[in-house]
Amino acid sequence: MEFTDKGFIKIEVKDLIDWKGGNGEGCLASNRITKDGWKVGYMYREEPDEGRPDSGWRFLKGDESNEYTSSSSNLNVFSINTICNYDPDIIPYLKAPVGSGFIRVSDHKFEEDNQDKNIYYAKQERCK
């Protein structure tokens, strides 16, 4: 596994999606995904930040504390396509509307988050 000079896992970014999601293609992703090598465990879509190319999508491992996510150094802005390259399992869920939330329930499957199941944690293939 290679890292960039900023500590991100070095990946080859291919065009996996053609994003036409409204405001923009930006999203927030936790370092637990882009630096520590975990797959997305929890993803949700909120109202996009106004005046920014934001899709509203937020991607987390799912065990981050409020303290962790409150620190801007633990979350970074990426294009959605880049996060799809870290974890392509998210692609089928990206057209969900604002207010949607999903948890990983197996290696390659998410379900709507009804807060009745535990998140299934998995490492990215390149990080096993």
Which stretches of the chain score pLDDT less than 70? 21-22
| Residue 74 belongs to some domain of the structure | yes
| Residue 18 belongs to some domain of the structure | no
Running DSSP on this structure, what letter comes out for residue 50?
A: T
Q: How many domains does the chain have?
A: 1
| Residue 119 belongs to some domain of the structure | no
pLDDT value at position 49? 82
pLDDT value at position 58? 97
| Structural domain of 35 | 26-109
Contact 45, 15 (CB under 8 A): no
| Residue 21 belongs to some domain of the structure | no
Could you read off the pLDDT of 99-121 as tens digits, one per residue? 999 999 999 999 999 999 999 99
Cβ neighbors of 37 (< 8 A, separation 6 or more) are 1, 9, 123, 124, 126, 127
| Residue 77 belongs to some domain of the structure | yes
| Residue 5 belongs to some domain of the structure | no
The secondary element (H helix, E strand) that includes residue 55 is strand 54-60
| Residue 62 belongs to some domain of the structure | yes
pLDDT value at position 22? 64
pLDDT value at position 21? 62
Q: How far apart are CA 96 and CA 3, in angstroms?
A: 32
| Residue 121 belongs to some domain of the structure | no
